[in-house]
């Protein structure tokens, strides 16, 4: 039988394909994404990565003792990722600090935090896996279809690196362990959170591509 | 000097007016809102009211001892409100239970929960005040402009009732007390949450009016 | 095979017997408990019941939708229980409001809240079941051994009433359902919380009996 | 006027003196503490430091953006402190992993977690300051009265180091900033948490000195 994380990906492959085929990623790979569009993403994703730290922190608080060191490493990794954004922002003349979260970015962060606080650790972990797996697969899709060097190469390299792949492998293996032996209703709750996270991931590219703003 | 809740409303009157003048409310008042549109709202707002219970519960957990009874009353009131939805749904042939939260409804709920868990009680209370005040003023606007009896009269009556007005008055007075003497930076955090809540309120009407759905 | 709640009681019957045979309960049944001692308990348990409301509120926030009404009823029931304390306090000349929580009472409340926030709903529910079951059995033990009418009869009646028994039956049945199909490691976590709760229950009687105070 | 952290220490100097003059610390300084007693502390404090990580993690989740890096450093520091325990445990033939938290250690941890989750960031921060300040002052008192090299020198050195002093200075200065301009009732809540934390600190030495165990 398939592993739990494989079941999730299989069950929602329609969603997953929609993410990986999003115009934002295609244009980034083909090298014809507008500077303005990519910069919008950069500014929003900077906020998202920054606000992923409190999310990870609540997961750390609920994590089994043996997993805590790993979460501390992940949080430290997010701090380094913020550095990557700041370096690239400077290089491309982007101001990261004046941006407010667009509706989808804001909503996605609220979702992460609510799940971390209100749900079980296993459920929170499912969201974490889904979000990181979506990053890995999305940027892998970009890398594979890449026409020449990209001005945004460092982002592509970051989420397709050996280290990031190994991290996502660990997340998948750990998710499988957490799911092991769980009754159907627990797995269903995890599956629903996988679906919601994937939906937010899709909307995040959409937000960047359409330069989404608050209606009022 | 103005009371704190008045300052908030004044500072964001542009946002507030946008809410009160939303086409959804205008059409409801004029009696030309499509059945389908109103029913979409009904199904989404049923979910929203239902999920407001956990939000209130976390606020109750953090509330000063003297305020707990009031929160228990509020939660009991939400249960009665759900009854109102079920009764009207039956009368109008609407199925409430098969609906999933649309993106804006989902996002707004995540926001409520995150604020309740992650922020101070005062900040959570600000969101509560804003949401209830928006309901009161929105339905008051409908009532004032109402052309004849509405098929949705019970909803209009519910959020314009004497009891609901007194409840919102209590929220306003309590918010003013909670804000009293607070340093500027605390008030700013509360004000930003007022703004965000008002934005979500606007988007909620928008969601109903446009029959918003998940993109994937 | 035994039901999960029966397994817990069986596995920790040594602890459970220690609770039911505590001198505080024996003296209360025999009618020779010192007024001062019982009043100490009354003042501490008033605080405990009061602070059980935030505990229940966080559980309500995490509860499955179908269980929410039950939690709202429980919370409403705690409010009535506080009324019982206030009535009896007045009748016996006890001042409830000037008391601070003794160390064990304080610790037990912190434990409830931490579990409610940090653990899964199932784990929080286990603590709830254990605490209420300990109350039922403790006061049942008093009732069965009662020599004549007690000056504290209303407390005995409260936690041995038909309604309270049915409530604890519901808790037991629900706990069994929540445990159903869970893997061993999940059940072990629940069992450890049962044990800790029972230990705190024992210490609570101890605290009242010894008039425990803060060392400094 | 005195700074807020000075006011707290002054207002509760009776409590603070009780901590600093606890027999456990005196005997450690004089070199006549029983090995068994010190090892009991070591095993309990290992648990306490380990469980301080989830406490810090929830504070990190609620911390202002500008303070997050500092909290990540603190958490990393706690991991190093656990290493210090493990090294000393090995050197002194102490088994850290088989120990369960004694009642006071358990209670203190529950208190940290409840405050982190249920209270405002400022209130949680007050508890953090108090606990760390108590460690600094306690071990400083040991160091100042030390008769010759101690077998437990590495613990003494750890919490009297330049780095640890600077960290506690930062906590004090940050607490003062957080308290600045707050209304009296907010400061009172912080002061009550200072008092409770100091009481738990005192009881922690007491627990180690008396080899406290669960009654049942």
Token digits for B139? Answer: 């339905």
Spatial separation of the C-alpha atoms in residues D37 and D49, rounded to whole Å: 18
**Contact between A24 and A41 (Cβ < 8 Å):** yes
User: Which chains neighbour C (Cβ–Cβ under 8 Å, 3 or more pairs)?
Assistant: A, B, D
> What is this model's ipTM?
0.98
Confidence band for D26, pLDDT divided at 50, 70 and 90: very high
Quote the radius of gyration of chain D (alpha carbons, Å).
17
Average pLDDT over residues A98-112: 97
pLDDT tens for each residue of B129-162: 999 999 999 999 999 999 999 999 999 999 999 9
Q: Do D57 and A57 touch (CB under 8 A)?
A: yes
Spatial separation of the C-alpha atoms in residues D186 and B166, rounded to whole Å: 28
Smallest Cα distance from C175 to chain A, Å: 15
**pLDDT 10s per residue in chain C (216 long)?**
699 999 999 999 999 999 999 999 999 999 999 999 999 999 999 999 999 999 999 999 999 999 999 999 999 999 999 999 999 999 999 999 989 999 999 999 999 999 999 999 999 999 999 999 999 999 999 999 999 999 999 999 999 999 999 999 999 999 999 999 999 999 999 999 999 999 999 999 999 999 999 999
Q: Which residue does chain D place closest to A50, by CA atoms?
A: D65
Q: Which residue does chain D place closest to B180, by CA atoms?
A: D183
Per-residue pLDDT at D177: 98
3-state secondary structure labels for all residues of chain D = CCCHHHHHHHHCHHHHHHHHCCHHHHHHHHCCCCHHHHHHHHHHHHHHHHHHHHHHHHHHHHCCHHHHHHHHHHHHHHHHHHHHHHHHHHHCCCCCCCCCCCHHHHHHHHHHHHHHHHCCHHHHHHHHHHHHHHHHHHHHHHHHCCCCCCCCHHHHHHCCCHHHHHHHHHHHHHHHHHHCCCCHHHHHHHHHHHHHHHHHHHHHHHHHHCCCCCCC
Give C184-189 contacts, CB < 8 A, sequence gap 24+: C184/A181, C186/A182, C186/C122, C187/C4, C189/C119, C189/C123
Say which of B57, B65, B79 has its CB closest to residue C57. Answer: B57
Looking at residue C100, the DSSP 8-state letter turns out to be -
Q: Where are the alpha helices (DSSP H) in chain A?
A: 4-11, 13-20, 23-30, 35-62, 68-91, 103-118, 121-144, 153-158, 162-179, 184-210
Output the pTM of the full model: 0.98
What are the chain C neighbours of A62 within 8 Å (beta carbons)?
118-119
3-state secondary structure labels for all residues of A146-168 = CCCCCCCHHHHHHCCCHHHHHHH
**Contact between D131 and D164 (Cβ < 8 Å):** no
User: Which chains neighbour D (Cβ–Cβ under 8 Å, 3 or more pairs)?
Assistant: A, B, C
Spatial separation of the C-alpha atoms in residues A17 and D121, rounded to whole Å: 41
Q: Do C120 and A121 touch (CB under 8 A)?
A: yes
Say which of C118, C180, C183 has its CB closest to residue A181. Answer: C183
Say which of A120, A180, A184 has its CB closest to residue C120. Answer: A120
Ramachandran bin of A103, using left for φ above 0, alpha for ψ from -120 to 50, beta for the remaining angles:
alpha
Q: Which residue does chain A place closest to B108, by CA atoms?
A: A107
Per-residue pLDDT at D1: 66
Quote the radius of gyration of chain C (alpha carbons, Å).
17
Q: Do A61 and C118 touch (CB under 8 A)?
A: yes
**Contact between C55 and C112 (Cβ < 8 Å):** yes
Per-residue pLDDT at B82: 98
What are the chain C neighbours of A186 within 8 Å (beta carbons)?
182
Ramachandran bin of C176, using left for φ above 0, alpha for ψ from -120 to 50, beta for the remaining angles:
alpha
Decide: helix, strand or coil at residue C120: coil
Decide: helix, strand or coil at residue C1: coil
């Amino acid at each position: 039988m398939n592993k739990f994380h494989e079941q999730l990906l299989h069950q929602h492959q329609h969603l997953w394909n929609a993410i990986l085929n999003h115009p934002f990623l295609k244009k980034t790979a083909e090298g014809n994404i507008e500077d303005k569009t990519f910069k919008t993403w950069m500014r929003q994703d900077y906020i998202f990565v920054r606000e992923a730290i409190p999310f990870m922190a609540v997961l750390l608080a609920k994590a089994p003792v043996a997993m805590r060191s790993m979460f501390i490493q992940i949080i430290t990794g997010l701090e380094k990722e913020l550095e990557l954004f700041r370096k690239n922002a400077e290089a491309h003349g982007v101001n990261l600090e004046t941006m407010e979260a667009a509706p989808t970015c804001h909503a996605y962060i609220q979702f992460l935090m609510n799940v971390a606080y209100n749900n079980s650790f296993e459920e929170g972990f499912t969201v974490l896996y889904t979000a990181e797996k979506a990053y890995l697969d999305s940027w892998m899709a970009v890398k594979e279809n890449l026409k020449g060097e990209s001005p945004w190469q460092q982002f592509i390299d970051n989420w397709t690196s050996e280290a990031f792949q190994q991290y996502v492998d660990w997340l998948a293996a750990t998710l499988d362990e957490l799911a092991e032996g769980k009754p159907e209703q627990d797995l269903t709750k995890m599956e629903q959170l996988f679906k919601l996270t994937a939906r937010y991931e899709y909307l995040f590219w959409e937000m960047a591509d359409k330069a989404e703003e608050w209606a009022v």
